[in-house]
Structure 1
Amino acid sequence: MAETTYPSPWHAVVDALVHHGVDTVFGLPGDDLGALHALEDAPVRMLLCRDQRSALFLATGHALQSGRTAVCVVGKGPAVANAVTGLLEAHTSGVPLVVLAGGTATKRRDSGAFQEVDQLALVRPLVKWAARIDHPDRLVPALDKAFLLAASGAPGPVYVELPDDLLDLEIVRTRPWADAPEVATAVTADGVDSRALALVRAARRPVLLVGGGMRGRNGERRIEALADRLGAAVFATASGRGVVDETHPHFAGLAGLYSPAELAPVWSEADLLITLGSRLEETATFNGFVGPGVPVLQVNLDPAGLSTEFPGLGLLGEGAAVVAHWLRELGPHPTEAEADATWPDTVTECRAAAHAAVAARLAEMAAGDTLHVAEVLAALDRLAPADRILVQENGLQDMWSYFFPHWTVGAEAGSVVPSEQTTLGFGTAAAGGVKLAAGDRPVIAFVGDGAFAMVANDIATLAREGVGVTYVVLRNSGYGWLQCQLDQHGAESTRFAFLGEEMGSTLPVHPAAWHAVVRDKSALADLLGEALLNSSKGRVAVLEIPVTIADAPPGITELDGDFPGAATDSAPNPASKNVSKNEEERPTDEQ
C-alpha cells in the first residue's frame, strides 16, 4: 500500500477508530483540543463530558452493552488522576476499553512541568497494558496493540499516552491497520473421562453459577440446554444477570448476598457447583453458596479469574466452547446413574416459594398508602417493554432490584450493574453509554439520589445530547446505606447524619429533561408511563420516588461486621423521604 501521512497524531488515532468500527468516543480532552479538531469531519460521535470519571463510566457502560471496544479521551495530570476511579470500574468489570491521554512533553519531564505526574505509574495496576508514545513511528503499532489487547483473551482496559511534543508531528503509516485476530473456540476432547467431565457426570444435585465473563457468550442458549440436560439449578452473579433467561424454570436467582432465602435448600443440598465466567468475589459467595467441602468446578478464560478459596477443579477455557463440548459429550439424555429425579423438583419448589413470598409481600404493601420500592419495580415490570435494559447502582434501596424475583431479566431484556467495587455513580453515568449502544431499546437507570447528584453534570450532558434514558431516582436526601449502618450501630449522637433536607425539596435537573415527582402512590403508573414515553423520544426522563430508609430488602439491614463491605461507603446509594400529595414537578432552570 502507499504511505498514508496524517497531519497530527490525533488524525491517525481517528483513522484507527474508524477502521475498528468505533462510532462513539467519550471524554474530556486536554486544552490542546487536537482530538476535537481531528474528529470534526469524522464519522465518529464525540460525547463531551463534564467529568473524566463519568466519561470512563459512560465508556464502560457502552462496552458492557455492545461487547465492543470503547474509547475514552482525557487530558493529562489531574485529568488522568480523575479518570482512575473509572479505570478501576472498567478493570473490575473486565470490559474492552482504550483510554487515550495527554502527557508531559519528553523534554519537560522531571522539571516540575505544569500538570506533570507519573501517569503510567497511576494507571498500570488497573490496565492490561500502558504505553507512552515518545516517537511518531511508534503510534501506529501502539494503537494496533491497544485494540488487540483490550478485546483479546480476558477483556480489559489499556492506556496510551500522547505527550505534548508529539502532537505537532506528522504521522506516517506504511502498512494497513491491523485487523482483529481470529479466535479458535473449539474444545478438543481428551476423552470422556477427563477430570472436569467426570465431575459433571458424577453430580446428582448440580448447580450452575453464571458470571459476568459469560456476557455475550450465550446467544444459542446452551447454558439453559446444559441446565436441562443436568437437571441443574441456575444462579447468576450480579454482573452475570442477563446471560441466561431468568424465566427459565431452573433459574433460581442470584448467588451469595442477594440469594433469595427460599432457595437455601438448593444451596445446602447441592453436591457440585459449576461456575462459568465468575471470579467468585465476596458478594457472590456470602450467605447463598454451597457448603464446606462441596467441590467447585470453575470454568474461566483467565487463570487470574480462578479462585483458590474453594475445593474443586479449575478449567481454563472459553465458557461457551466448554459448555458446547460438554453437551456433545454428555449426549441428550442422562443415564440412570446420573439422574436424580427429585433434584429438579426441589429447585422448582424453592423457586415457586420465592415467587409466592414476593407475591405476598407485594399484596401486603398494596394494602397501605406508602409507596414501596418493590412496588416501583413491579410497576416497571408491567409497563416497560420486554426488551428493556435495567442499569443499576448498588445502594440500600436500589438493592431491591438485585433480589429475584422482585426483578426478573427475561430472554429479551438486559442488565448492567456495577462491578464488585460498586463505585458510587457508576450506574447513573453508565446508563448513557448503555443507551448509545442499545439503539431503540429502552434503558432504565434504577438509582439513588446521592449517586444521581454525584454525576449530575453529565446527566446534563445526556440531556443536551438527546440520550433518552429513564432515571428512576429513589430519594431519601442522602446516603441511605451509611445512615442505615449508623442507626444499626445504635449511634444516638446527633453530630452525624447521612440524610438531610439540605438537598432541597426536589433534585436539580437540566431544563431539557422531563422531570416529575411521585407524591402519591396512585400516580406511579401514569408518571412512569410518561417517563418511558419521553425517553423513547430521545429525552432524558427523571422520575423521583420519595422512599423511607426503612424500605430495604429483607435481611440487608441486618448485615454487620460479618460482611466487610457492609459498614463502609461501598454501597451507599440514597433514596428518599415520603411525601403525600401528587404533584408533577416540571423542569426548572436549575442544573
Structure 2
Amino acid sequence: MSGTRMTEYPGAWHAVVDFLTTRGVDTVFGLPADDLTVLDALRDSGIRFVLNRDQRNAGFMATGYALQSGDPAVCLIGKGPASTNVLTGVLEAAASAAPLVVLAAGTAVGRRGARAFQELDQVSLLRPLTKWAYRVDHPDRLVPSLERAFTTAAAGAPGPVYLEIADDLCDAAVTRTRPWRDVAPQYPGPDAAAATTAWSAVWASRRPILVVGGGMRHRNGSAAVEQLATGLGAAVFSTASGRGAVDEAHELCCGVCGLYSPPEAVELWRDTDLVIALGSRLEETATFGTGFAPAGVPVVQVNIDATELSTEFAGPSVVADAGRVVEDWCGRLAVGRREPDPVWVDRVGAASVRARQRVAADTATARASSTPRIAALLDALAERLPAEHVLVQENGLQDMWSYFFPFWRCAGPAGSVVPSEQTSLGFGAAAAGGVKLAAPDRTVVALVGDGAFGMLGADLAVLAEQRLGVLFVVLDNGGYGWLQSQWDKRSEGGDRFRFVAETGLRGLPAAVHHAVVSTADAIDAELDRALKECASGRVAVVEVPVALSDVPTDLDELDGDFPAVEDR
C-alpha cells in the first residue's frame, strides 16, 4: 500500500495505519473512541497498540517513549473528555520538547453545532499547547495533514502536535496519489557570522562552564561535549532534563546546575567568566540558587529554535542544532593552539572530588542505619544496575534525592528521563512504560513517590499485561510529603491540614511483584529479587517506607526559598 501508484483506503484510519507503518512506527498508545474502526485498521498491522485505561497516562507514556527514542510517539484518543484528559500529557510533552503526535476522533462535520455526543472544540483547546493543531474534515486533506503533523513534531525544537479526524471520515474512501513524503527531521548548521561571534567568546574564556540541556538528548552520541569540555577546560553541568546526554563520570562533570547544584560548585559559578548553554531554555530551576551567570558574565546560548533562547541573559546566541555546533567547535579546537587554564581545571576537578567525598560519607552513614535510608537505597540500586539502564524520575520531596549529584550519577551509557519544569504529578510513573518500550533491552527503573505511583492507577495493570518489566522503587511517605514538609515549617502550621496518612500500597494487581522493604538489611536482597523479576518481563514494585525527615541536606537548607514544586 505504500508504493508509488495510486492507493485507495476504505477509510481514514486505514490510511493512518499505512502511514505509520511506512514511517516505521511500531507502537501506539491510547484509548480509542466508541467507534472502533481504528482497531480494524490496526488489527492486521505490525503495530503494537498499548491500550491504556486513562488518556492522561497514555500521553505520559507516549511522551516517555518520545524522550527515550528521539522519534515522534503516537497517542490515539477519542472525543470530548478524552481531549481534556490527554491535555496534561500534551503540556508535559510541550515543556519537555518531546515529539508527540496526538491523533483524535472528532465530531462529524454535519453534526457540529447540533449538540452532538461529546462535541467539543478540541482544536481550540489543544492549540495553545501544541506546535500545530488541525482538524481533517475532508478525505483529500488527510495525506498532507499526516505528513505535516509528523514533520512539525520532530522539526526544530520538538514538541506535540494535534490532528483530529472527523468521525464521518471513518468509512470515507481516502485516495493517495503519490508516495508518502519523508518526514525525518533535519538538523541545521549555524549561521557563519553568528557562529564566529560565539566562538570568539568561547575561545577567549579562561574559566568556562558548559551547561548541557535537554536539547542535547540524542545529539551527543560521539561524546563531543566531553571532548569540548576537555579541550576548553570547562566545568560541565547539566540541567535536570539534560542528564544522560553527557557522561557524569567525566572528571570535569560537577552535576546538575541551578536548584540541584552541589554546594562545592558554588565557587565555580561565582568565578566563571563565560557560561555556554547547549540546548537549554535556561528555565528557573536551571538557573536558581547558585549565582548563575554573575553580573557582567556573558552566556553563549546554542539552541535549534530562536523561541527556545532565553533573553534574560546577555551574550551571543547561535540558532542551530547544538550537536552540530559542538562538533564544529571541537574541530576548531583541534586546529587551534588554545590551552586550558590549569588552575581552573584543577579547581573544577577538586570541586567534583569534594562533592563525591561528601556524598560517600553521607551514604556510608545511611548504610549504617537500621531503617531504610534513601541515600543507601540509591547506592544499592546503582551497584546492581547494568551500565545501559534508564532512571525515570518524579520531582517530589524524596524522589528528588536522585537529582542531587553524585547521590546519583548518569555515567557512561546510562539514561535519564525526568519531568519537565511543569513537574506533572505522575508523569514519571507512567512514562516509565513508554521508556521501556522504546528501550526494551535496557533495565528501566522508576524512582517515584507513593502519591505519583498512585496516579498510575489501572494502567499499572496495562504494564503488566504488556509484560513491560519496569522496576518501580516507591518511596512511601504516606501521601504528599512535599506539601506536608512545607506546612510543617510554617509557624502557624498545626494538624488541621494533613497531606500524609498511613503508608502502604494497596490493591496492586496480582501479576505485579510487590515487596516492602521495612529494614535496611533487606534492601539488597529485595532489589536483587525485583530486578530478576523484571528481567523475566514482570513489573516489580519495591515499596520503601520513608520518614519525611529523610531529605537531601542541600534541599532542606533551602528552607522553601525556591520555586514551588508539586509533591509526588
Give the corresponding residue for 1:579.
Answer: none
Give the corresponding residue for 1:486.
Answer: 487
SS in 1 for 2:447: strand
Q: Tell me if 1:253 matches 2:252.
A: no
1:133 to 132, 136, 139: 136
Q: Tell me if 1:352 matches 2:347.
A: no
Give the corresponding residue for 2:531.
Answer: 532
Please list, as runs of the form range in 1=range in 2, the aligned pairs for 1:89-168 lying within 5 A after superposition. 89-168=92-171
1:346 Cα deviation after fit = 0.2
Contact in 2 for aligned 1:274/1:296 (Cα 8 Å): yes
Contact in 2 for aligned 1:229/1:334 (Cα 8 Å): no
Contact in 2 for aligned 1:476/1:547 (Cα 8 Å): yes
1-side partners of 2:443 and 2:549: how far apart?
A: 30
Q: Which runs of 5+ in 1 are unaligned?
A: 574-591
Please list, as runs of the form range in 1=range in 2, the aligned pairs for 1:325-474 lying within 5 A after superposition. 325-331=328-334, 334-335=337-338, 339-474=340-475
Contact in 2 for aligned 1:440/1:536 (Cα 8 Å): no
1:331 Cα deviation after fit = 2.8
Give the corresponding residue for 2:39.
Answer: 36
Contact in 2 for aligned 1:5/1:172 (Cα 8 Å): yes
TM-score (norm 2): 0.97
1-side partners of 2:505 and 2:330: how far apart?
A: 54
Contact in 2 for aligned 1:223/1:244 (Cα 8 Å): yes
Give the corresponding residue for 2:513.
Answer: 514
SS in 1 for 2:316: strand
2-side partners of 1:392 and 1:420: how far apart?
A: 13
Please list, as runs of the form range in 1=range in 2, the aligned pairs for 1:232-247 lying within 5 A after superposition. 232-247=234-249
Q: Return closer, same or farther for 1:491/1:332 CA change in 2, 3 Å cut-off.
A: farther
1:183 Cα deviation after fit = 3.1
1-side partners of 2:485 and 2:335: how far apart?
A: 51
Contact in 2 for aligned 1:189/1:325 (Cα 8 Å): no
1:353 Cα deviation after fit = 0.6
2:566 to 571, 580, 587: 571
Q: Return closer, same or farther for 1:184/1:79 CA change in 2, 3 Å cut-off.
A: closer
Contact in 2 for aligned 1:2/1:174 (Cα 8 Å): yes
1:292 Cα deviation after fit = 2.2
Contact in 2 for aligned 1:230/1:334 (Cα 8 Å): no
SS in 1 for 2:103: strand
1:247-285 CA-partner distances (Å, limit 9, x unpaired): 000100000000001111111111100000000000000
Q: Return closer, same or farther for 1:75/1:16 CA change in 2, 3 Å cut-off.
A: same
Contact in 1 for aligned 2:371/2:518 (Cα 8 Å): no
Give the corresponding residue for 1:26.
Answer: 29
1:571 Cα deviation after fit = 2.6
1-side partners of 2:454 and 2:545: how far apart?
A: 15
1:313-368 CA-partner distances (Å, limit 9, x unpaired): 22111111111111222335643xx6421000000111111011101111222332
Contact in 2 for aligned 1:518/1:527 (Cα 8 Å): yes
Give the corresponding residue for 1:205.
Answer: 207
1:411 Cα deviation after fit = 1.1
1:472-498 CA-partner distances (Å, limit 9, x unpaired): 000011101000111011344322100
1:552-572 CA-partner distances (Å, limit 9, x unpaired): 11132344564232xxxx330
1:313 to 316, 331, 339: 316
Give the corresponding residue for 2:272.
Answer: 270
1:393-441 CA-partner distances (Å, limit 9, x unpaired): 0000000000000000011211000111010100000000000010111
Give the corresponding residue for 2:68.
Answer: 65
2-side partners of 1:457 and 1:495: how far apart?
A: 32
2-side partners of 1:215 and 1:27: how far apart?
A: 25
Contact in 2 for aligned 1:84/1:123 (Cα 8 Å): yes
Give the corresponding residue for 1:217.
Answer: 219
2-side partners of 1:39 and 1:181: how far apart?
A: 23
- Which range moved further: 114-123 or 229-238? 114-123
Contact in 2 for aligned 1:59/1:72 (Cα 8 Å): yes
1:133 Cα deviation after fit = 0.6
2-side partners of 1:374 and 1:259: how far apart?
A: 17
Partner amino acid for 1:342?
A: V
Give the corresponding residue for 1:549.
Answer: 548
1-side partners of 2:212 and 2:71: how far apart?
A: 21
1:85-132 CA-partner distances (Å, limit 9, x unpaired): 000001111111111001111112122222111111110011111110
2-side partners of 1:557 and 1:344: how far apart?
A: 30
Contact in 2 for aligned 1:89/1:419 (Cα 8 Å): yes
Contact in 1 for aligned 2:488/2:494 (Cα 8 Å): no
Contact in 2 for aligned 1:77/1:115 (Cα 8 Å): yes
Q: Return closer, same or farther for 1:148/1:347 CA change in 2, 3 Å cut-off.
A: same
Contact in 2 for aligned 1:207/1:273 (Cα 8 Å): yes
Contact in 1 for aligned 2:72/2:150 (Cα 8 Å): yes
1:290 Cα deviation after fit = 2.8
Contact in 1 for aligned 2:101/2:163 (Cα 8 Å): yes
Contact in 1 for aligned 2:359/2:406 (Cα 8 Å): yes
2-side partners of 1:387 and 1:323: how far apart?
A: 24
SS in 2 for 1:312: coil
Give the corresponding residue for 2:478.
Answer: 477
Contact in 1 for aligned 2:191/2:318 (Cα 8 Å): no
1:32 Cα deviation after fit = 0.3
Q: Which runs of 5+ in 2 are unaligned?
A: none
1:191 Cα deviation after fit = 10
Give the corresponding residue for 1:84.
Answer: 87
Q: Return closer, same or farther for 1:229/1:524 CA change in 2, 3 Å cut-off.
A: same
Contact in 2 for aligned 1:6/1:172 (Cα 8 Å): yes
- Which range moved further: 367-376 or 351-360? 367-376
SS in 2 for 1:257: helix
TM-score (norm 1): 0.93
Contact in 1 for aligned 2:476/2:504 (Cα 8 Å): no
Partner amino acid for 1:356?
A: Q
Q: Return closer, same or farther for 1:349/1:334 CA change in 2, 3 Å cut-off.
A: farther
SS in 2 for 1:555: helix
2-side partners of 1:191 and 1:293: how far apart?
A: 21
1-side partners of 2:349 and 2:559: how far apart?
A: 32
RMSD over aligned Cα atoms:
1.5
Partner amino acid for 1:146?
A: A
1-side partners of 2:414 and 2:493: how far apart?
A: 45
2-side partners of 1:188 and 1:87: how far apart?
A: 32
Q: Return closer, same or farther for 1:360/1:166 CA change in 2, 3 Å cut-off.
A: same
SS in 1 for 2:544: strand
2-side partners of 1:137 and 1:434: how far apart?
A: 35
Contact in 1 for aligned 2:389/2:443 (Cα 8 Å): yes
Contact in 2 for aligned 1:58/1:433 (Cα 8 Å): yes
1:434-471 CA-partner distances (Å, limit 9, x unpaired): 00010111000000000000112111110111111000
